[in-house]
Amino acid sequence: MEKTAGNSNNLTIRINSDGFSLLINDESGLLLSTQHVSRALSNLSVEEIVRIITIETTYYYKKVNIICESDSYIFIPTPFFKREEAMDLLYFQHKKEKNERIIYNFVPNWDTVNVFAVPSALEQALSRLFPESIIEHQLSWLLKNKIIPLQINSLSIWVRSKILDVIALKNGKLQLMNSFSYQTPEDFTYHVLDIIDKLSLDIEKCDVFLYNSEKKPELEKMLEKYVTVSSF
């Protein structure tokens, strides 16, 4: 499909296990529209993925951001990062799947590199459609765009269907980056409170930020009984 004339808006494509979301923002960052497409992309061919995304993105945009959720990731401090060793480190910690592509996200403001894996066909399709865009892992995106050392004590949580990805700061320093499985709002809340306890954070002063949580309002409702919650 031919794409119609461009505009000054930005498009964010957020890809997860059950489909992908399209979020359109104007130049000031104001959210103009959002749409979720319930079509999983991970097991499709390059051509199928290209066709599906092309149908849903009929305009050119000033900038296209791509956030691709992945369970397989590892952060390596920049001084110790070596491309030739990154894959071995990733698969020492995670199971290697067939037809995966390794991607590196450099996060200079935190002096670290995120090495993660996505389906090869998905990476090829996205690179073909948006050659000037970087495919970012959800935690890379959080670290680059939303988390700064001035957040003295905070938990930033990327919410997935059954997983919460957590970045914890204490006294402005990075303390934890990890993922936890949950089934219920009670499980979710338990993990958050347990992290606060284990890191000896002041529960009265610890800010909890939820991202990608619009489909899970019950999580925020349960969590805000115990901590200060901001949802984005």
CATH code at position 41:
3.30.420.250
Confidence class of residue 86 from pLDDT cuts 50, 70 and 90? very high
Q: Say whether both 49 and 82 belong to one domain.
A: yes
Q: How many domains does the chain have?
A: 2
pLDDT the model gives residue 150: 64
User: In the predicted model, is pLDDT for residue 129 greater than 90?
Assistant: yes
Q: Are residues 114 and 154 in the same domain?
A: no
> Are 56 and 109 part of one and the same domain?
yes
For residues 92 and 127, state if they share a domain.
Answer: yes
Provide the pLDDT for residue 111.
93
pLDDT value, residue 5: 47
Task: Give residue 43's pLDDT band: very low, low, confident or very high (50, 70, 90).
Answer: confident
Work out the average pLDDT over 49-59.
87
pLDDT band at 151 (very low <50, low <70, confident <90, very high): low
Structure pTM? Answer: 0.89
Return the DSSP state at 227.
S
Please check whether residues 19 and 60 belong to one and the same domain: yes
Structural domain including 204 reads 148-231
Mean pLDDT computed over every residue of the chain? 91
Q: Which of 145, 165, 190 is the last residue of a domain?
A: 145
pLDDT of residue 149: 64
